[in-house]
Chains A and B, each alone.
Chain A
Amino acid sequence: MPVLARLFAGLMLFLVLVFLLAPIAIVIPISFSPSTVFSFPPTGFSLRWYENIRNADGIIKALWLSTQIAALSTAVSLVLGTLCAIAIVRGAIPGARLVSTFMISPLMIPGLVLGIAFLHAAREVGLRDGYIPLLLAHVVVTMPFIMRTVLASLALFDFTMVDAARMLGCAYPAALWRVLVPNILPGFVSGALFAFIVSFDNYPVSIFLVDVHTKTLPIQLLNQLEMSPDPTLAAVATVMIVLTILALFACDRLVGLRRMAAV
């Protein structure tokens, strides 16, 4: 490639990075601004919006609910998905390709469509309470992310090690637990982290399943944004951004970022 084309591509990358990071970065100074209206450039420094998080209606409660739903749905997907992935990779089920497509297909369905479908189903079986439908729906939403990473890790795993463990007197479940699980742990970590983020950030599926008492964080934040847009939101957002960066950093140490992004 000639120098000019390279320069152009480099410039594009620079512009793209600035553009991608700007809306995230802008939130941080706003959260420390002393005034109620968002203004740029900021005029001072204050932590009042961080103190306000505690008083803001329902944010802490929503945060706790979202954490629960994300952690539980990720755990359930992890167990169910891994068992299924092992069966697929070992060729134990007829039509293994079809099965893996089926398990990954929620990824291709628009979120709102899934949400509406869940709403119909919850009504049909008479589930009125918000928590259980929300949890079940989030297992479906997180499943594809677990399946993708675990299937990719299993493709590289040598199953003769499990056979060896069994020959040495280990029962099949114990062999999986003590040989397979430690070996594909990086896949678990990256899949689980991604699944957690996807569930934690889900809006379009949850919006049809929440009720007054069970509101996840994205729903609560968007409500707040429409009702009373003050920098408290920027403070919450800043906390979330910092947590995300820490999680990504930890993940890079554990498994490598590119592996997590599955590229």
Chain B
Amino acid sequence: MTAIDLTAAKPVVRRRVELDPRLVMALPSLAFMSLVFAFPLALLMAKSFQGPDGLTLAGYNRILGDAYYRGVIWDSLTLACRVTLITLLFGYPAAYALTRAKGGFQLIMFALVFLPLTVSIIVKTFGLTIMFRREGILNWLLLNTGLLDAPVRFVFTEMSLVIGMVNVFLPFLILPLYSVMRMLDARYLDAAATLGTSPLNTFRRVFLPLTMPGVIAGSSIVFALSVAAYVTPGLLIGERYMTMSMVMAKAFLNFRDYQLGSAMACIMLAIALVIVFLSSFLTRNLEARGR
């Protein structure tokens, strides 16, 4: 890449460079992504260390040295944990049932899991807020089935936030699990059964380990999305439950406190990278053990 840059800088020397056309094809996109993607991220990191006079850790100090902001980070992480665990609890058996469904029926149900992914997140969250209302369908159902005597308040509660986030992120877990379970060779399960393994042990020793890559992939996506979620918490609970995203957005859009916002963004970036590395480490570990 450097060789080409040099010749471009000195147009006088009109030597004909033998360029692999395939290399030339990669250059525009690499240049674009370096300028429009890598440069802004590097700039963001630089800005988070920028003070009125030179380099400073003040932004990080204000976050990590403040019990309130530490609490916000902790709350974001625990919220993401809760959401991930609940999606796993429901998503795992659902993905299994999806793989066992018969041909055309399976495709229809697959389409129904996939459809919410393509519907705007604003529309879904809007639908959720309608359902959670005092006179909404959830209370109507619970009252009419006799499960409740008086309407319950769902709006702006932590429970509605968790339910809403599970709703938005569930397909991201089911799809990777489905693809892993679909590829799983059913003969392993038959072999285990033939050898006299009990169904529970077959699940624990054969099925679960073989589907673990899907569990890791799906739950790390859901965790990453939940930590960074902004639209859903913003609409479902607002400032009653402050998350890192909310702090970042407010710092930039309301307070114009760029130092704080940039530092928080860098902390979130670090968390996202840890998730990526952790999940690829776990997957590789799994593969190594499989051999």
Contacts and interface: CB of A to CB of B under 8 A. Distances in A.
Contacts of A222: 122, 231, 235
A9 B268 contact: no
A99 interface: yes
Contact of B26 (A9, A99, A117, A136): A99
Interface in B13-56: 20-23, 25-26, 28-30, 32-33, 36-41, 43-44, 47
Interface string A102-128: 110110111111101111110010000
A68 interface: no
A233 interface: yes
Interface in A30-88: 30, 38-41, 80-81, 83-84, 86-88
Given A22-B131, A38-B130, A203 B122 contact: yes
Interface string B241-281: 00001001100110000000110010011001100100000
Interface stretch (B4-12, B61-69, B110-118): B110-118
B269 A110 contact: yes
Nearest to A76: B32
A240 B120 contact: yes
B122 A218 contact: yes
A221 B122 contact: yes
A5 B170 contact: no
Given A20-B112, A21-B115, A116 B252 contact: yes
A100 B245 CA distance: 28
Q: How large is the interface on B (under 10, 10 to 19, 20 to 34, 35 or more residues)?
A: 35 or more
Interface string A227-239: 0000001100100
Q: Do most interface residues of chain B lie in helix, strand or loop, or is the interface mixed?
A: helix
A110 B43 contact: no
Contacts of A255: none
Given A10-B97, A27-B127, A112 B245 contact: yes
Contacts of B93: 8-9, 12-13
A124 B50 CA distance: 14
A240 to B, nearest CB: 6
B174 interface: yes
Nearest to A220: B122
B128 interface: yes
Contact of A139 (B36, B97, B178, B199): B36
B25 A87 contact: yes
A131 to B, nearest CB: 15
A261 interface: yes
Contacts of A203: 121-122, 230-231
Contact of B262 (A8, A20, A116): A116
A165 interface: no
B123 interface: yes
B203 interface: yes
A120 B32 contact: no
Interface string B122-152: 1111111011010111001000000000000
Given A6-B97, A24-B124, A103 B44 contact: no
A182 interface: no
Given A26-B131, A39-B135, A120-B47, A12 B94 contact: yes
Contacts of B119: 24, 240-241, 244
Contact of B224 (A1, A12, A106, A110): A110
Which 8 A/B pairs are nearest by Cβ-Cβ distance? A23-B127, A110-B228, A92-B22, A263-B179, A87-B26, A121-B40, A117-B40, A13-B97
13 contacts: A12-B90, A92-B25, A108-B276, A110-B228, A111-B230, A121-B43, A143-B33, A201-B121, A203-B231, A218-B120, A225-B126, A240-B123, A245-B115
